[in-house]
Amino acid sequence: DIVMTQSPDSLAVSLGERATINCKSSQSVLYSSNNKNYLAWYQQKPGQPPKLLIYWASTRESGVPDRFSGSGSGTDFTLTISSLQAEDVAVYYCQQYYSTLYSFGQGTKLEIK
Amino acid sequence: EVQLVQSGAEVKKPGESLKISCKGSGYSFTSYWIGWVRQMPGKGLEWMGIIYPGDSDTRYSPSFQGQVTISADKSISTAYLQWSSLKASDTAMYYCARQYSSSPHWYFDLWGRGTLVTVSS
Q: What is the pLDDT of residues A70-101, one digit of tens each?
A: 999 999 999 999 999 999 999 999 999 999 89
* Cα first-last separation, chain A: 36
**CB within 8 Å: A97 and B44:** no
Give the closest residue to B98 by CA, choosing from B44, B1, B38, B25: B25
Q: What is the pLDDT of residues A20-58, one digit of tens each?
A: 999 999 999 999 999 999 999 999 999 999 999 999 999
Distance, in Å, from the CA atom of B28 to the CA atom of A112, rounded to the nearest integer, reads 41
* Nearest chain A CA: its distance from B7 CA (Å): 14
Give the closest residue to B52 by CA, choosing from B26, B71, B75, B25: B71
**CB within 8 Å: B108 and A104:** no
**CB within 8 Å: B105 and A104:** no
Distance, in Å, from the CA atom of A51 to the CA atom of B5, rounded to the nearest integer, reads 15
**CB within 8 Å: B108 and A61:** no
Distance, in Å, from the CA atom of A80 to the CA atom of A97, rounded to the nearest integer, reads 20
Interface test mutation site (partner A, options B2, B4, B105, max chain A beta carbons within 10 A): B105
Q: What one-letter code names the amino acid at B41?
A: P
Q: Which residue of B has its CA nearest to A41?
A: B107
